[in-house]
C-alpha cells in the first residue's frame, strides 16, 4: 500500500528531512585522479608532510583527523615537491591548496567533522561528528575516511597465514628440513642456557668477592648494559662501581630544571589548546 503525503498525514516529515540532510555522499577514492591520490598519500604520511597525527572517535571507531590549516601549510611546503611523484598537482597559492583539499573531500578521502570533547577525559581521543556542510576552511577539522594503501597489510596477512600453515604441516616437511629445525632449536636453547649460566656464575662470584675483595668483581660488567652484543662481553671482568650519590647542590639544580621544564611544557600545551 502506497503512502500519500497530505495535510492529514501523520508521517514525521521533519525527521525524514533531517535524516536526508545528514546523509553524506562520498565518491570512491580508488577512482580519484592521480594528482589527488598523490596529495592524499603525501598528507597521510606524517614523516613527509610534517602534519601532527591526531586521533578521534566516531561511532566507537578511531579515526585520524587534521586541521585544515595544517594540511594547507603542508601542501605549500617544499617537501610536497620533493617527496611526491611527477604527476602531482602544482600548488603555489593557498587558493590552489584549498581546491586540492576540496577535491580530496569530493573523491572520498576526507570528511569535514566537528570536534567535541574527549569522552574519557584529557589525553584520550576526542569525539568526532560529521558536519553536513562539506567545504574547506582553515579552522575546521577533517577526518581521514581513506585508510591508505593496504598492500603492506595484505602482505603481512599472507605471511602470517603461510607461517601458520607451515607450522601445522611440519610433519609433512622433508626429513632434512625437520632435522635442520631441530638443530636450530637446540642451538638457540643452548645459547640461552649459556647466557643464564653466565648470569648465575657472575652473581655468585660477585657475592663472594664483595666480602673478600671489596667492592666486588663482576664477570662481563657490561653484560646487561645498553651496548652492542660484542661490547657486552668486553671487558672480561671489572670492579663493581657503586653509583655516585648526587650532592645537595646537584639535587636542587635538578629540581629547578624540572620546575622550569614543567612550566614550559604547560605553557606550550596551553598555546596548542588555544590554537586548536
- For the segment 224-231, the average pLDDT, to the nearest whole number, is 85
pLDDT at residue 10 tops 60:
no
pLDDT at residue 187 tops 90:
yes
Q: Where are the beta strands (DSSP E) in the chain?
A: 54-58, 61-67, 110-115, 126-130, 141-144, 217-219, 237-239
Q: For the chain, what is the radius of gyration of the CA atoms?
A: 31
Q: What is the DSSP letter of 230?
A: T
Cell numbers representing residue 256 in the block: 629547578
- For the segment 23-29, the average pLDDT, to the nearest whole number, is 58
- For the segment 145-153, the average pLDDT, to the nearest whole number, is 79
pLDDT at residue 201 tops 90:
yes
The torsion angles phi and psi of 207, rounded to 5 degrees, stand at -65, -40
Q: Pick from 40, 92, 47: which is nearest to 71 by CA? A: 40
Cell numbers representing residue 264 in the block: 614550559
pLDDT, greater one: 34 or 272: 34
The torsion angles phi and psi of 239, rounded to 5 degrees, stand at -75, 150
Residue 8's pLDDT band (boundaries 50, 70, 90)? Answer: low
* Cβ partners under 8 Å of residue 173, min gap 6: 181
The torsion angles phi and psi of 125, rounded to 5 degrees, stand at -60, 140
Q: What is the pLDDT of residue 71?
A: 92
Exposed e or buried b for every residue in 171-188, given b needs 16+ CB within 10 A? eeeeeeeeeeeeeeeeee
**Mean of per-residue pLDDT scores for the chain:** 79
> Which residues of the chain are in CATH 1.10.10 domains?
23-147
Residue 94's pLDDT band (boundaries 50, 70, 90)? Answer: very high
pLDDT at residue 188 tops 90:
yes
- Which of 34-43, 146-155, 245-254, 266-275 holds the top average pLDDT? 34-43
| Separation of alpha carbons 59 and 128, rounded Å | 9
Q: What is the pLDDT of residue 79?
A: 82
pLDDT at residue 92 tops 80:
yes
pLDDT at residue 269 tops 60:
no
pLDDT at residue 83 tops 80:
no
CATH class of the region 23-147: mainly alpha
CB 109 within 8 A of CB 36: yes
Q: Which class for 58: exposed (0-12), middle (13-18), buried (19 or more C-beta within 10 A)? A: middle
Q: What is the pLDDT of residues 120-146, one digit of tens each?
A: 777 788 899 999 888 889 999 999 988
Q: Pick from 150, 63, 52, 155: which is nearest to 110 by CA? A: 63
- For the segment 79-94, the average pLDDT, to the nearest whole number, is 85
CB 202 within 8 A of CB 218: yes
pLDDT at residue 82 tops 70:
yes
- For the segment 35-53, the average pLDDT, to the nearest whole number, is 88
pLDDT at residue 98 tops 70:
yes
CB 263 within 8 A of CB 54: no
Amino acid at each position: 500500500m502506497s503512502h500519500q503525503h497530505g495535510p492529514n498525514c501523520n508521517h514525521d516529515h521533519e525527521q525524514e528531512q533531517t535524516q536526508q540532510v545528514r546523509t553524506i555522499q562520498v565518491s570512491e577514492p580508488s577512482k580519484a585522479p592521480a594528482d589527488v591520490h598523490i596529495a592524499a598519500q603525501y598528507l597521510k604520511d606524517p614523516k613527509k608532510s610534517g602534519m601532527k597525527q591526531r586521533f578521534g572517535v566516531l561511532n566507537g571507531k578511531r579515526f585520524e583527523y587534521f586541521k585544515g590549516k595544517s594540511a594547507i601549510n603542508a601542501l605549500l611546503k617544499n617537501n610536497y615537491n620533493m617527496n611526491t611523484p611527477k604527476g602531482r598537482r602544482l600548488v603555489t597559492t593557498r587558493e590552489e591548496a584549498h581546491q586540492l583539499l576540496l577535491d580530496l573531500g569530493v573523491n572520498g578521502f576526507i570528511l569535514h567533522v566537528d570536534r567535541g570533547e574527549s569522552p574519557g577525559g584529557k589525553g584520550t581521543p576526542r569525539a568526532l561528528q560529521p558536519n553536513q556542510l562539506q567545504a574547506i576552511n582553515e579552522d575546521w577539522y577533517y577526518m581521514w575516511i581513506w585508510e591508505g594503501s593496504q598492500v603492506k597489510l595484505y602482505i603481512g596477512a599472507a605471511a602470517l597465514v603461510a607461517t601458520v600453515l607451515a607450522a601445522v604441516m611440519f610433519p609433512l616437511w622433508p626429513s632434512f628440513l625437520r632435522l635442520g629445525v631441530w638443530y636450530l632449536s637446540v642451538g638457540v636453547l643452548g645459547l640461552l642456557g649459556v647466557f643464564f649460566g653466565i648470569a648465575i656464575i657472575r652473581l655468585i662470584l660477585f657475592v663472594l668477592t664483595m666480602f673478600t675483595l671489596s667492592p666486588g668483581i663482576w664477570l662481563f660488567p657490561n653484560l646487561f648494559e645498553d651496548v652492542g652484543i660484542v661490547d657486552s662481553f668486553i671487558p672480561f671482568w671489572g670492579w663493581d662501581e657503586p653509583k655516585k650519590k648526587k650532592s645537595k647542590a646537584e639535587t636542587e639544580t635538578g629540581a629547578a630544571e624540572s620546575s622550569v621544564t614543567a612550566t614550559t611544557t604547560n605553557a606550550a600545551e596551553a598555546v596548542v589548546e588555544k590554537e586548536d
